[in-house]
Structure 1
Amino acid sequence: MITPEFWSIPTSTLTPAELAEKSAVLKQRLTDISSRFSDVCFATSLAAEDMVITDAIAKADAKIKLFTLATGRLHQETVDMVKTTEGHYGISIEKVYPQDNDVQAFIDQYGMNGFYDGEEPKKACCSARKIKPLNAALLGADAWITGQRREQSTTRTELNLEELDDARGIAKFNPLFDWSEADIWAYIKQEDVPIHPLHLKGFPSIGCEPCTRQVKKGEDIRAGRWWWLQSDSKECGLHVNK
């Protein structure tokens, strides 16, 4: 039996000067956002892109609050990364939990792992465990930040730095929109950013444990997300407007 070869951290051809320029631009974007808005939040998954943003926020001393969606179905490695990140940067990351009644309503209708049965139950689970908690976390905020990049999927190719989140009526920023995967890892290496352990085991994209798996070499980097669904859209609904 042939053992599959999984995704591995890519190498970058960026020169030190080019990387320094991208780093400076990122920090400037974040400080500009925090100066324009009074209540800015960053939703971190603790995966590579979000760790780059976390590092830049900390080093730029940008006034941006960090939170993570504690869905109740995360890998233990992700749970542990919260403490690792807080200790490394001396910061606090708020944990936003789903409402028990929303989770129970999903389980009553579909079963604990009913999301495997199709797109609709998958959306229902994401709604209970991610979207409703995100909406609650963003109440009162006037801007929020994501780690999305254009290169990540077909649904993100038109991504811009700034957009209006119509669903929530606030500004939304994607400060890594024009970064490549190799750029992300060059920054992580250069700045000694903590790495999520699953990235070292063939996971380029990390979500909830039952909905995320390793990606084989040559596959799309989001192929491990909701792999049982035949869809080009590898999204949970967090980034879908009205």
Structure 2
Amino acid sequence: MDEVNVVVAHSERATLRVGDVFLKVDADQARIDVEVEAMALAPVPTPEVLWRKPPVLAIAALRGTTLGRLGEPSTASPTAWSAAGAAIRKVHDAPLPPWPGRAGRSRDELTAELDGECEWLVTNGVLPADLVTRNRRIAEAALRPWTPAFTHGDLQIAHVFVDGDEITGIIDWSEAGQGDALYDLATFTLGQEERLGDVIAGYGTDVDVEVVRAWWSLRSLLAVRWLAEHGFDPTAPGCEVDVLKSRM
């Protein structure tokens, strides 16, 4: 029998790899439903669904390796990053899915969540007040009207697979839906600021870099508590707290 590798695991969901098969266990069946439907609609390569038996979804592994991991320098070429930008643009230009997504929260919802997290970070001494205040000010630029697009919703670089300079597929679509395209671009380049130019070269025009940078701050501020409470370390080199510090 192949070795069982734990890809990611926390109280909400877990992903295991056994040979060429990924087994996703999710307590929320709605997320699995979204993932399967989004993969069917996405105009880019996605994993083959092998079988479903709630709460487990079995999908086939993609060819190649991930583009990188948050907190680590990516060894992928500029051409590969540009190819990823082009693939992301295909998703954003596709017909809208008929449901809202994580990247589609309203301005009022985001503002309330952001203010609550900032207060928690300062009150509990997790981060210095000046660091939080500075990034909260930067994040304001992301809280603006936007045209809905088909968004992945959790487009980390570890969710994009590459073989040489070819993008072979995108995984983990459980947060997909209608949303702000620049949220995807910001998530994808979080902690990889030097790669943003390559991504935009493939993605094309209509990218407001200041809004992408605002999303870096906003996403990082929102993530710190969740990561800490689910067994991850937002203070690891190159991760969310370092992203916030780089804005100072």
- If the TM-score is normalised by the length of the shorter chain, which range does it land in? under 0.3
TM-score, normalization: structure 1?
0.27
Higher RCO structure (Cα 8 Å, ≥6 apart): 1
